[in-house]
Structure 1
Amino acid sequence: MGRAGFSMDPEFVAAVARVAHGEKINVARFCHEHGLSRDTFYKYLARFRAEGADGFTRRSTAPHHHPTAVGASVAEAVLRARKELAEAGLDNGPISIRWRLQDTGTRPVPSRASIHRILRTHGQIVPQPRKRPKTRRRFTYADPNGCWQIDGMEHYLADGTKVCIIQILDDHSRLDVGTHAATGETTADTWAALQQAFAGYGLPVKILSDNGLAFTGKHRGRMVELERHLAGLGITSIAATPHHPQTCGKNERGHQTLQKWLAARPPADTLTDLQELLEQYRQIYNNRRHQSLGGDTPQQRYDTRAKAAPATGPRRLSGMSTRPVSATGVIAFSGCSIVLGRGWARRTATVYWQGDRVTVMIDDTVARQLTLDRSVRYQRLTNQKLSEKS
């Protein structure tokens, strides 16, 4: 007889009742024939003598003491903190809720596990038992200003006008060093955002971006204006691998936090209004505890260590790439059209460049040397060059 059937087996009930009333039976044989232990038989016999037929009712196996249970007032404080954080557009997971309870003087402060249990019990979160734990390792620069990440995200004003928010984060500390409202992800707006960040926090050693044309031309074999500005300050420009947004993951995650905060507020009417909101956000974000920083705020982490700085003097960007020569003897390079002459038509040119100084080779022959004139796009041959080629 199975354990779950003890109180329901008629022969067991009858045997216990007969023994309780003084009848003599062979208990050992009965238990052997019915697959029971004598301890079980005598346990129910004692219950029957004390409670009568109620002694056969199955008892709850739940513990009498719940060491992890929290009081109703603590549960109420947890739910209230979650609601307030959500309404403010801030992260409202168990860690953030615990920090808020600490900051507001709630006592006792429940553990993260207890907060998670309260949220689950009250239907605030849905358990995800099959969700894989996060085991990826994050790379972080060792010092503040060792590298900044820059990226733009779309946003909409109250009237539906699409604008751009350019966000700049310090890789080491996650500090928001500049968040700029702009009409679009343009070179002028990007440079303006960076100049404001430089004024407040100094120059970084490197700036990491995705492959937006306002940021870099690295993977297109050219140098954009922003890269020339940065090189002039001694700052190294680095770009993520195409189609690999994880490289700029800290900035991508920062966009999510900012979008959530903005969504909790009425949309701005103008770029000026939006910029005021962004300044409010930066003050909150930079001085609020961060989970990936072990509970430090970005400002605390940024202020803890000495700042890295670029090497003295401007950098001269250089590189090499190949370009097809058109039927009219022209190659496209760094936003310019460089004339070589029809004698080189339909060949493949190798371009060696450092800053704006360029040498174009075809096989082992120098087809042209020049310094790019950025005031024009079409880099014509000089009269001397034309006469040499003819």
Structure 2
Amino acid sequence: MLVELSVVEQRYHAVMEVLSAGAQVTEVAERYGVSRKTVHAWIRRYRDEGLAGLEDRSHRPRAHPWQLDAEIEARVCELRREHPRWGPRRLGFELERAGLGPVPSLSTIYRVLKRHDLVEGSLRKRRREDYRRWERGEPMQLWQMDIMGSVMLVDGTECKLISGIDDHSRFCVIAAVVPRATARAVCRALVTALETYGVPEEILTDNGKQFTGKYGRPRPSEVLFDRICRNNGITHLLTKIRSPTTTGKVERWHRSIQDELLTDEGPFADVEHARAAVEKWQREYNTQRPHQALNMATPAEVFRPVSGENGLALWRPPELDTTPVSSPDVVVEEGPPEPVEPTAGSGAVVVDRVVPASGNLWLRGQQFWFGPARAGKRVRIWIDTTTAHVSLDGWHYKTLPSRLSSLDLDKLRAAGAPTAGPPPPRPDARELISGDPVAIDRVVTASGTVSVARRSLSVGQQWAGRHVTLRLDNDLAQVIIDGTIVRTLSLNLSPSQRLRLQGARPAGPAPEPDRRPARIQRKVSARGATQVTGQTVQVGYRYAGRVVTIEVDETVLRVFDEADEAITTVSRTTTAPVVRHKAYGHRVESTISQEVSPLN
């Protein structure tokens, strides 16, 4: 019988032939297919270490002249833990700034982060050289402007951030926090930047109403922003509709301030605290934060403001001078106001309405959108000339600006709407960010998911189209349907994200979980079997090609036919959860049509 010897045994026999049998090293080396030097090494290692010396050894060198210094490697890990958003390029820049050298390459820094589990591996992206950079050649040739939200206050109010970026230097010229991004607030921020840095050649914006009247109704018109650009010799450029990548630099700036400031430090106590935090971050961004697109230079090192050497004075619209600077949210309508009949009662009113089938509720010319899923729901609207508070099923749904005048309120009051008292209380923002359980309502999509804080949560395709309640407790999201918990998911939200949840309200006690077994559908194969939670269930050849319903219990699987008649019951041998409830390749419509269609 042939026996295969291990490598150590073969080397041991070779050594014994030389030491015990007195064979020549040349003959042994030739017989074992190695060099004489290798046989001498085996003999030396056997004399020094015994049988263990004949085992395979790593050829890795004990030291390497290019090995990264341990101090630099520790500093890289320390900087990464202090600043989780810094990548290899920024880490290398900080090492060079601190005078630690020689600075390792970007690939070496990446391998250090990967080795210490400080970064997740990803597929190789396209090289930077393959991208075509779109930017102006000099500063002050083009500004990009936009408006973003997500500046949250403790009381639940969402402020707006008016921002502007120089296209060439990435210098932030505008960062104004306002309660409402009205046309006056946007123009005031623009004029302040023009007075501070000079007049650029062009300004690029999207097609918002604050920037352009190109799509105004009933006809296009020139808004105040356009007039400021025209009178100061600025070319106003507009992006294509639904093309946010055209203003990609200011959008990328929004992402930076969202990740590094608003998410970490928000919500803020009031507007003044938010403005102070944004102004501080703006100064650090312009003067201290190196920018990778500028070869790790700061925007202030590249930006050059324009002086008034051309002798043209800045044109400032007189409308802005009539509005106090401390009230940027005050709206001053252009043109003479429409005459309004004098009225004695101009207070708020309360209106009860039922959401129509379209989900689009109108009240005196103002639209309130609820969606078809809430058709038939009764809502209560507290409204005056400035604000409208909407309550749905007894809890606060949303707050939005009012478009009604005093005359509209009088007509509603004459139609029977009662005069309202103080505004309805909104959920205390401190309760939403304190970590106490909150509840929100969502509608499951056709793919079985719901959206929470821009995240997609898989609820289950069997609940598609259903209204569900999500109870957010710590890092868990409990899906509640018909008063029972049908699923528990992992969801970690920051205080700022919890504060921005639409329709959030304090949650009551958690209901009991749903103990009923799940009912799923499976299509029987040609062999009369199907798969359920990784377990093969034999249904029978007579059901081949048909769809059966399987009731998944903790210990058994019950199989039913189309008429819900029991077919068989088998023991459950797996503990895997149910991840699919519908049968593959099965359409109810096609099955019905085959049953009622006559034979050809």
TM-score (norm 2): 0.46
The SS at the match of 1:164 is strand
The aligned counterpart of 2:178 is: 182
Equivalent runs, 1:294-333 vs 2, <5 Å: 294-303=295-304
C-alpha distance in structure 2 between counterparts of 1:293 and 1:6, whole Å = 64
The reply to whether residue 161 of structure 1 matches residue 157 of structure 2 is yes
Quote the offset at 1:309 in angstroms.
Answer: 10
* Cα 1:245–1:54 shift into 2, 3 Å: same
Instruction: Give the aligned residue type for 2:20.
Output: H
* Cα 1:217–1:310 shift into 2, 3 Å: farther
Task: Between 196-205 and 20-29, report the one with greater CA deviation.
Answer: 20-29
Quote the offset at 1:312 in angstroms.
Answer: 7.4
Out of 92, 117, 120, the residue aligned to residue 123 of structure 1 is 117
The aligned counterpart of 1:293 is: 294
* Cα 1:311–1:123 shift into 2, 3 Å: farther
Question: Could you list the per-position Cα deviations for residues 175-216 of structure 1 after superposition, in whole angstroms to 9, with x for gaps in the alignment?
Answer: 001101122332111101101110110111110012222123
C-alpha distance in structure 1 between counterparts of 2:310 and 2:237, whole Å = 14
* Cα 1:67–1:166 shift into 2, 3 Å: farther
C-alpha distance in structure 2 between counterparts of 1:292 and 1:113, whole Å = 19
The structure with more strand, counted as a fraction of residues: 2
Question: Could you list the per-position Cα deviations for residues 260-291 of structure 1 after superposition, in whole angstroms to 9, with x for gaps in the alignment?
Answer: 22222242222222111111011100012211
The aligned counterpart of 2:242 is: 243
Task: Between 273-282 and 48-57, report the one with greater CA deviation.
Answer: 48-57
The SS at the match of 2:242 is coil
C-alpha distance in structure 2 between counterparts of 1:189 and 1:131, whole Å = 41
The aligned counterpart of 2:42 is: 44
| Structure 2, gaps ≥5 residues long | 315-600
Question: Could you list the per-position Cα deviations for residues 43-88 of structure 1 after superposition, in whole angstroms to 9, with x for gaps in the alignment?
Answer: 43443355442331211121222334334433332233233335xx
Equivalent runs, 1:1-390 vs 2, <5 Å: 8=7, 10-24=9-23, 28=27, 31=30, 36=34, 40-86=38-84, 91-106=85-100, 109-134=103-128, 135-155=130-150, 156-218=152-214, 222-225=220-223, 226-262=225-261, 263-287=263-287, 288-303=289-304
Contact 2:149 2:160 in 1 (8 A): yes
Contact 1:145 1:308 in 2 (8 A): no
The SS at the match of 2:165 is strand
The SS at the match of 1:177 is strand
Contact 1:186 1:214 in 2 (8 A): yes
Q: Which has the higher contact order (CA 8 A, sep 6+)?
A: 1
Contact 1:234 1:311 in 2 (8 A): no
Contact 2:197 2:306 in 1 (8 A): no
C-alpha distance in structure 1 between counterparts of 2:81 and 2:300, whole Å = 26
Instruction: Give the aligned residue type for 1:291.
Output: Q
* Cα 1:257–1:310 shift into 2, 3 Å: farther
Quote the offset at 1:297 in angstroms.
Answer: 0.9
* Cα 1:137–1:222 shift into 2, 3 Å: same
Instruction: Give the aligned residue type for 2:301.
Output: Q
The SS at the match of 1:98 is helix
Contact 1:120 1:126 in 2 (8 A): yes
Instruction: Give the aligned residue type for 1:137.
Output: R
Q: How many residues align?
A: 304
| Structure 1, gaps ≥5 residues long | 315-390
TM-score (norm 1): 0.68
* Cα 1:285–1:27 shift into 2, 3 Å: same
Contact 1:181 1:275 in 2 (8 A): yes
Quote the offset at 1:118 in angstroms.
Answer: 2.6
Contact 1:234 1:312 in 2 (8 A): no
C-alpha distance in structure 2 between counterparts of 1:310 and 1:251, whole Å = 29
C-alpha distance in structure 1 between counterparts of 2:46 and 2:255, whole Å = 64
Quote the offset at 1:16 in angstroms.
Answer: 2.6
* Cα 1:6–1:271 shift into 2, 3 Å: farther
Quote the offset at 1:12 in angstroms.
Answer: 4.3
Contact 2:17 2:28 in 1 (8 A): no
C-alpha distance in structure 2 between counterparts of 1:114 and 1:97, whole Å = 11
Quote the offset at 1:149 in angstroms.
Answer: 0.2
Instruction: Give the aligned residue type for 2:157.
Output: T
Q: CA RMSD in A?
A: 3.3
Contact 1:203 1:235 in 2 (8 A): yes
The SS at the match of 2:189 is helix
Quote the offset at 1:141 in angstroms.
Answer: 0.6
Task: Between 119-128 and 188-197, report the one with greater CA deviation.
Answer: 119-128
Contact 1:20 1:49 in 2 (8 A): no
Identity, in percent, stands at 31
Quote the offset at 1:104 in angstroms.
Answer: 4.0
The SS at the match of 1:268 is coil
Quote the offset at 1:172 in angstroms.
Answer: 0.9
The SS at the match of 1:163 is strand
